[in-house]
Structure 1
């Protein structure tokens, strides 16, 4: 890392997607990151180690790759241990909002931030209280009171760091649901804008002191400053639709850029639109995998027999009852079954050997690929129940024939396909089984992917499965050498909660264009 790189503090860092994008430019140096989840923290620490080696001791990167390739039990050796200890000092496993967590972070800030030098604060306070899904769950709790949910106010931990340390800029990310979330009848987004634009501390005489900030939209250039009326703003100005910027998913997130008023020149950076990138563009080169069968003996022959038996019955029923309208689908199911019979796919339970891929087959190859990897990391298929295998196969065939993912009872009309859920016919879960269409950006990768694969069905029926962690990570634009730690469920959770690193890099590059950070 260059000695002139701007320091960064990363709060609520997760596995480090936002920090990865900034640091990848070579102009920013993460000096401290904070994450409370111990498993995400392991990923964060491992990535910090990789980054430190890359910049300070590239000759020791072999230690990292030996760990990734399964040739070593730890990512460091005696020679690289000092760099591992540096990574552990950078990546903090702390719960912000607690006295111990805040003290640990404050000590790291004092130790690592240079005096009178510009620095940047980044991060996204936890979104569960703001997301539409989270609010829906909370409505079902008789004793739930938004004003007593501390998650609504974790942004104040972010605010506290701004108050006490005055960064040159800050970047805050959150779900779109924050725009409509209310506490005590007031939109939480309006409170956040007011607080962030004037994050003053009161001195012992009760006088306000500190910097003001201009809150900017990276999409429209809209600005909010102290004293402005937040009700006059269109909150959608602060929503970045990731698919408009070359990210292969329809991820819509609120991102606020705060510029310290004494550095603000009136110029606001704007993200430049990019051509649309589809699912096929970023996962088509990864090794094909078959799903596994849960609750029964699993092997390739049993897997084939199960799908052929069940899908064959579905195709036969469609031919008899569906008439000409469904004949193309039943025929495609049969053709796909015949193709499946000729495949002997791995399930990824062992690390798959990386092959010399056709490097023109996937977009962003320079971003994703790493020739020092001998294996495909985090690329392992889930196990699915027999009934879900049938639905996944049918759904992916349906998507290929009709160009859309099937919805509800109207499309899953064959009796063998109907789930046993009592509310299936209500229409409330019409999108319960969703195929990620190969010729479109994916739907949003969220932490729900850790619960089941129903919303994330692979478009290839011959694989008959949901997306792997690596495929989800590709859609989130994580490089292939980003090694997610923990069990598979924990890996999915980390990927779903992250900021796409490539989008973060675009934000970082737009900030660099302002040339504010050279000012003293």
Structure 2
């Protein structure tokens, strides 16, 4: 029965039917967008965050009826909804195992636990066993969806640490499960910066194909090059610690990332390449920015610039998400203490350097006051008040990476979900603007096009972007999967 279902799907795909995709743990839709760019039909998503779910529906069901859009905008808890119920809710007129060709997604990394082969076999035999598991291992739920919905291809994404999680290699265990379910699979570590994303972001990607497809798993070849900072190489080696390299060891499902010839590749897209055409923001320096929620209700028109580079052009002309007017989410945080400090910082400065700059500014202010006849003693309340107005309160020895001023001519460092709480990890490279990045600039650094709309206000917008898989990275993987599905 399973084999016939898979064969029927493959025959339809080889005849030219659009591949139908389900995105689990979809967030706002970074993976979905990359697959949409390659001609996949985004037919469903499961996302527990209501604002992210609304964003996903708004962008991928923009031409659907209000009722359909509202159905897809509903936040769904994957631990509380079975695959069969999902298919019913989406009103898809087929048996659950007939509906989707491809399943993608990245289970939240904090949900991983040391499970091992016994638990995976239990899930394979009884998908509902997951519901009795008090640890709620969400990637087991992902696998239960795979077992029930019988996709032809799978993409799973996560942080590199899943290769060395409490002594377990989660990706390896997932592959063992998938092999038992009739899949061929491999996983690797890829950095988005090598695929046209203006951000150095290392992630694990696992691809699996049903054996009936007769395809070997391959990963996309890089299109860009940059010398990664040493810290990225160190993190990769820690993640790969549990990979079997020995001559007599059991073969691993891990494959090294595709090699690249830097001589033949374009240089990586830099922060300035990505952001340089966006309107400057200086209202905060003019006293016109106030504390409070930032809504996406004011259009900031593009400046008349006919010299757009390739990346900027793509961000404005992405098929299905074109934008020739301007942006609504070019909003920034209210951080009045730090504007002068942002201006003073050098490119690449992190928190220890920022803290030293602030101490220098404090000394300069004390000297200025003394020259004007007002001496402030170091142990006084006036001194503490003045210091608090200039110097950030964090210990520079404990938070070295909390702040960073981006380098103009290099890609950005990894954007994280905590952008939703603060943006100090990405201070704008332009000292004249003296600020952290805007929501739209974060989206640009993740390769979301300007026509992609984020629901909610500033903080949820940052969080959605920081959690996402860069669409251009997803697009490179989607192109590889599409070739396999088409038998090319």
Instruction: Give TM-score scaled by structure 1 length.
Output: 0.66
1:17 lines up with 2:1 in the alignment = no
Partners of 1:125 and 1:486 in 2: CA distance = 23
Partners of 1:45 and 1:504 in 2: CA distance = 18
Within 5 Å, give how 1:81-120 maps onto structure 2: 83-98=65-80, 100=81, 104-108=85-89, 111=92, 119-120=101-102
1:443 lines up with 2:413 in the alignment = yes
Within 5 Å, give how 1:266-281 maps onto structure 2: 266=216, 268-274=218-224, 275=266, 276-281=268-273
Match of 1:431 among 401, 425, 438: 401
> Which residue pairs with 2:191 in the alignment?
241
> Which residue pairs with 2:163 in the alignment?
179
Partners of 1:113 and 1:172 in 2: CA distance = 25
> Which residue pairs with 2:360 in the alignment?
414
Change in 2 beyond 3 A, CA 1:129/1:90: closer
Partners of 2:357 and 2:134 in 1: CA distance = 40
TM-superposition CA deviations, 1:488-513 (whole Å, max 9, x none): 10000000001111111111111122
Give the secondary-structure state (helix, strand or coil) at the position aligned to 2:22: strand
1:7 lines up with 2:16 in the alignment = no
Give the secondary-structure state (helix, strand or coil) at the position aligned to 1:299: coil
Partners of 2:91 and 2:325 in 1: CA distance = 41
Is the CA contact (8 Å cut-off) linking 1:7 and 1:113 kept in structure 2? no
> Which residue pairs with 1:265 in the alignment?
215
Change in 2 beyond 3 A, CA 1:273/1:366: closer
Partners of 2:451 and 2:417 in 1: CA distance = 21
Partners of 1:268 and 1:362 in 2: CA distance = 27
- Structure 1 runs not aligned, ≥5 long: 54-81, 132-147, 199-210, 218-237, 303-346
Is the CA contact (8 Å cut-off) linking 1:180 and 1:189 kept in structure 2? no
Calculate the aligned-residue CA RMSD, in Å.
3.3
Partners of 2:147 and 2:217 in 1: CA distance = 24
Match of 1:160 among 123, 144, 152: 144
Partners of 2:101 and 2:70 in 1: CA distance = 21
> Which residue pairs with 1:350 in the alignment?
298
Change in 2 beyond 3 A, CA 1:393/1:362: farther
Q: Figure out how many residues of one structure are paired with residues of the other and give that number.
A: 379
TM-superposition CA deviations, 1:380-407 (whole Å, max 9, x none): 1210032x22322222xx22xxx65564
Within 5 Å, give how 1:280-319 maps onto structure 2: 280-290=272-282, 292=284, 298-299=287-288
Change in 2 beyond 3 A, CA 1:92/1:9: farther
Deviation at 1:196, TM superposition (A): 3.1
Change in 2 beyond 3 A, CA 1:475/1:193: same
TM-superposition CA deviations, 1:92-120 (whole Å, max 9, x none): 4210011x465532425782567768710
> Which residue pairs with 1:123 in the alignment?
105
Change in 2 beyond 3 A, CA 1:482/1:243: same
> Which residue pairs with 2:463 in the alignment?
493
Deviation at 1:154, TM superposition (A): 0.2
Runs of 4 or more above 6 Å deviation: none
Instruction: Give TM-score scaled by structure 2 length.
Output: 0.70
Partners of 1:485 and 1:108 in 2: CA distance = 23
Within 5 Å, give how 1:455-494 maps onto structure 2: 455-494=425-464
Partners of 1:407 and 1:126 in 2: CA distance = 31
Deviation at 1:267, TM superposition (A): 5.8
Is the CA contact (8 Å cut-off) linking 1:94 and 1:101 kept in structure 2? no
Deviation at 1:177, TM superposition (A): 1.9
Change in 2 beyond 3 A, CA 1:108/1:216: farther
Is the CA contact (8 Å cut-off) linking 2:111 and 2:139 kept in structure 1? no
Partners of 1:117 and 1:489 in 2: CA distance = 35
Is the CA contact (8 Å cut-off) linking 1:292 and 1:382 kept in structure 2? no
